[in-house]
């Protein structure tokens, strides 16, 4: 926009003139980065789970960094931290699928509202979206999620997790950092 000077009825005036309005960014353009990132998380997540499922026995553990990280094949029928793992499958699976589906729809809606310049929020949402879809695929196809990263110190074990869980966790941390940064 620039200010133009002209005469209206013999009086000097300043009129605002606008350059041609920039077209609104297409939703595809705004969504490209997070969707590509989400797709990458889903692909890597599913490949790693397939590798674990095809090469390890359930509950088998292989040390990666002695005293700190093992590959341990477990199946999580519950949610985060095995929440509702003992609930009947007829309740648990539809609940988790519904929550994941709502999260996916909510994230895509939120992504469409983000400015193109807010790359940190877009990356964070892409990570969370990829993680949600990665675990959703397992729940729909198998009724449980393959977890295999076992981090522990002095006998204290963090709940086993997978690539999708990592995407969700890192994405949430990035969104929190972004919200604190303003």
Active site residues: 147, 165
Q: Are 76 and 160 in contact (CB under 8 A)?
A: yes
Backbone angles phi, psi at 61, to 5 degrees: -130, 130
Contacts of 160 (CB under 8 A, 6+ apart): 72, 74, 76, 147, 148, 149, 150
Cβ burial 143-155 (10 Å sphere, 16+ → b, else e): ebbbbbbbbeeee
């Amino acid at each position: 926009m620039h200010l133009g000077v002209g005469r209206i009825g013999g009086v000097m005036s300043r009129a605002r003139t606008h350059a041609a309005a920039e077209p609104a960014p297409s939703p595809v353009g705004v969504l490209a980065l997070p969707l590509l990132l989400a797709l990458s998380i889903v692909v890597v997540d599913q490949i790693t789970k397939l590798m674990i499922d095809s090469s390890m026995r359930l509950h088998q553990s292989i040390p990666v960094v002695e005293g700190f990280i093992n590959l341990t094949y477990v199946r999580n029928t519950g949610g985060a931290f095995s929440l509702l793992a003992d609930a009947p499958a007829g309740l648990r699976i539809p609940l988790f699928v519904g929550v994941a589906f709502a999260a996916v729809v909510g994230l895509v809606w939120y992504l469409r509202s983000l400015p193109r310049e807010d790359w940190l929020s877009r990356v964070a949402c892409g990570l969370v979206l990829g993680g949600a879809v990665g675990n959703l695929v397992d729940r729909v196809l198998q009724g449980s999620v393959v977890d295999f990263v076992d981090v522990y110190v002095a006998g204290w074990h963090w709940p086993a997790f997978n690539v999708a869980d990592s995407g969700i966790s890192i994405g949430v941390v990035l969104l929190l950092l972004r919200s604190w940064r303003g």
